[in-house]
Amino acid sequence: MISSATMAAVDENAAALGVPRKQLMESSGNAVARRVRELVDPGAAVAVVAGRGNNGGDAFVAARFLDDYDVTVHLLGRPESITTDIARENWDALVECEYDAREVRDSRALDLGDPDLVVDAMLGTGVSGAPRDPERSAVEAIDATDAVVVSVDVPSGVDADTGEAAGVAVEADHVVTFHDAKPGLDALAAEVTVADIGIPPAAERFVGPGDLRSIRRDPNASKGDAGRVFVVGGGPYTGAPALAGQAALRAGADLSFVAVPESVKTPIQAYAEDLIVQPYEGERLTPEHVDDLVRTATDHDDVVVLGPGLGSADETLDAAREFLASFDGRVVVDADALPVVPEVETDATLVCTPNRNELAEMGGPEVDDLRDHLGEVEGFAADLGHVVLAKAKDDVVSDGERTRVCRAGTPGMTVGGTGDTLAGVTAAMLATHDAFDAACVAPYVNGRAAELLEADHGDGLLASDLLEAIPRAVWGERDA
Ligand SMILES: NC(=O)C1=CN([C@@H]2O[C@H](COP(=O)(O)OP(=O)(O)OC[C@H]3O[C@@H](n4cnc5c(N)ncnc54)[C@H](O)[C@@H]3O)[C@@H](O)[C@H]2O)[C@@H](O)CC1
Ligand SMILES: [K+]
């Protein structure tokens, strides 16, 4: 099963891997034509009713694979109003090659004749709301025929994610959907075929640019909606919590609080005026601070980053244990706090971000190349009961059931502090994504930021350089 949003991400990832959308459209159209052949004999009258998006584009391709049928293509609207280049190119090809391709300027002018089969390619996953004219009238016209109806991807008017129709919808006999089953097709009376359109498994396995689609700002959001991040770190080290807090802001969090020992408050505040420093007494985190920290994080529904720069004094690790045992919100656990995770029962949602050594210390696989041991990382995440983002040249992310790989990054990232920026980005993502998706997209953002800087910085990259590039990695120019 795949949602429309994931499908769109996978499709963009496939293009980035060298399998462009137009190629997928060719396979989709071919698959629709194959289904038509199975259902009616050569010579049969086939009416293709196409909308102006890629759903229609799939059907323009199908028409080219049905030369031994009596095919008429009806485009609902003017060719200039076709919304994508690839659909328009396929329409233009029909016209140039003198297929029977007609423009329907007025929905009342749609004349389907008496076809044996109708290909419904008006609205696919790009539908929003109830079908409007000319699609609305065309739905009624299709439902009024006695023809066999084959819908492309999803019956027009039906939401592929929910199966619900906001208004009229095509009553399909058959649906040819692509790549994977869609949740909304399950309950329909139609017979559903899933066509393999050549999307490589790598487009799903490797985190790619399509995954950035999940990061959106709600234009009506108010301060705090994009997340408050609360870094619990610092003491022996000061740079780590400051990097994590700033990276969270750069990746879209609205506010970044950093809870640190009084003794290091001044240097940490001096790093960045954007951080809100909340000091607690002493020189390091100890169990007596935990109640206050849990209360603050709980009251504000903060995403916590626990670990950066905390050090590994016994009483600090006791405090980390107690924090996790009594907090039930979302936490990115990094660095010094990682070894306590296997020892605690917690109701919190954790994303653990170990490097290879920390992974081994937690009881995970001790291997050189995590990519060769995906099953072991998955098994470890399953035993741990938390999402694991195992950092290496190629990061491996698993929730115990799903496992993905992130290949973004540069050799320069071995410099200290890039794990701290990753922890901060992960927290920002955890504010707006579920734990697994946050853990997948965050290393892609962090790694892509380094890639954007590679030409200028090479192996002289600093973690603090990443801060400036993170927004570009998230919101910079991308393919449509
Ligand atoms: N995403 C993918 O990975 C793939 C998508 N493919 C095809 O692309 C389709 C999605 O294409 P698009 O995103 O271009 O969208 P659609 O072709 O589903 O619909 C978009 C068009 O419909 C119009 N529209 C939206 N809501 C409407 C409404 N309520 N009433 C009337 N018109 C409305 C839009 O203005 C736009 O012109 C899929 O359903 C599938 O058929 C395939 O080619 C294979 C791969
Ligand atoms: K359709």
pLDDT of residue 315: 98
Section 104-111 average pLDDT:
88
Q: Which residues place a Cβ less than 5 A from the ion ligand 2?
A: 55, 120, 124, 151-152, 156
Ligand 1, atom nearest to 10 Cα: 3
**Which atom of ligand 1 is least distant from the CA of 24?**
44
What's the 182 CA to ligand 1 centre distance in angstroms?
A: 15
* pLDDT higher than threshold 90 for residue 106: no
Query: Measured in angstroms, how far is the CA atom of residue 11 from the centroid of ligand 2?
Result: 18
DSSP 8-state class, residue 309: T
Task: Say which residue the tokens 């190349």 belong to.
Answer: 369
Rounded-to-integer distance, Cα 474 and Cα 442, Å: 10
pLDDT at residue 90 greater than cutoff 80: yes
pLDDT class of 107 with cuts at 50, 70, 90: confident
Strands (E) located in 314-368: 330-333, 349-352
Residue nearest to atom 24 of ligand 1 (CA): 127
User: Amino acid identity, residue 77?
Assistant: G
Of 17, 27, 54, the one to substitute when testing ligand 1's pocket (max ligand atoms within 8 A of C-beta) is 54
Name the residue with higher pLDDT: 218 or 101: 101
pLDDT average, residue stretch 451-466? 95
CATH of domain 209-475: 3.40.1190.20
Q: What is the pLDDT of residue 219?
A: 64
Ligand 1 pocket (Cβ < 6 Å) reads 7-8, 11, 24-25, 28, 51-56, 58, 83-84, 123-132, 135, 152-153, 178, 197
- Measured from the alpha carbon of residue 58, the closest ligand is 1
Is residue 50 within 8 Å of 83, Cβ to Cβ?
Answer: no
Q: With cut-offs at 50, 70 and 90, classify the pLDDT of residue 220.
A: low
pLDDT averaged over the chain? 96
3-state class (DSSP) for residue 193: strand
pLDDT tens digits along 344-368 = 999 999 999 999 999 999 999 999 8
Q: Is the pLDDT of residue 217 over 80?
A: no
Is the overall model pTM greater than 0.90, yes or no? yes
Structure tokens at 326: 């009594």
**33-37, 221-225, 470-474: least confidently modelled range:** 221-225
Quick one: average pLDDT of 275-297?
Answer: 97
Chain center to CA of 31:
26
Six-digit token pair at 3? Answer: 């949602």
Point out the annotated binding site for AMP: 419
pLDDT exceeds 60 at position 6 = yes
98 CA distance to ligand 2 middle (Å): 24
Distance (Å, whole) CA 448 – CA 425: 12
Using the predicted structure, report yes or no on whether residue 184 has a pLDDT greater than 80: yes
Q: What percent of the chain has pLDDT over 90?
A: 95
Distance CA 186, CA 163 (A): 8
- Give the number of residues written for the chain: 480
Report the alpha-carbon distance of residue 348 to residue 223 in Å, rounded. Answer: 24
List the domain boundaries for the chain.
4-202, 209-475
Mean pLDDT in residue range 271-282: 95
Q: How many CA atoms lie within 13 A of 26 on its CB side?
A: 8
The minimum-distance atom of ligand 1 relative to the CA of 121 is: 41
CA 182 to ligand 2 centroid distance, Å: 13
**C-alpha span between 328 and 13 (Å, rounded):** 34
Check whether 480 has a pLDDT greater than 60.
no
Distance in angstroms (rounded) separating the CA atoms of residues 323 and 331 = 10
Instruction: Label residues 240-251 b or e (16+ Cβ within 10 Å = b).
Output: bbbbbbbbbbbb
Q: Cα(156) to centroid of ligand 1, in Å?
A: 10
Pocket test for ligand 1, best of 60, 86, 123, 177 (most atoms within 8 A of CB): 123
Same fold flag, 4-202 and 209-475: no
| Phi, psi (deg, nearest 5) at residue 174 | -135, 150
Q: Does residue 209 have a cis peptide bond before it, meaning omega lies within 30 degrees of 0?
A: no
Q: Whose CA is nearest to atom 42 of ligand 1?
A: 25
Residue closest by Cα to atom 26 of ligand 1: 127
Question: Distance between CA atoms of 87 and 79, rounded to whole angstroms?
Answer: 10
Mutational test site, ligand 1, from 30, 125, 192, max ligand atoms within 8 Å of CB:
125
Structure-token pair, residue 286: 């100890």
Distance (Å, whole) CA 182 – CA 192: 10
- The CA 154 to ligand 2 mean position distance, Å, reads 5
- For residue 57, report the distance from its CA to the centre of ligand 1, in Å: 9
ipTM computed for the complex = 0.97
Whether domain 4-202 has CATH 3.30.1490.20: the reply is: no
Q: What is the pLDDT of residue 368?
A: 87
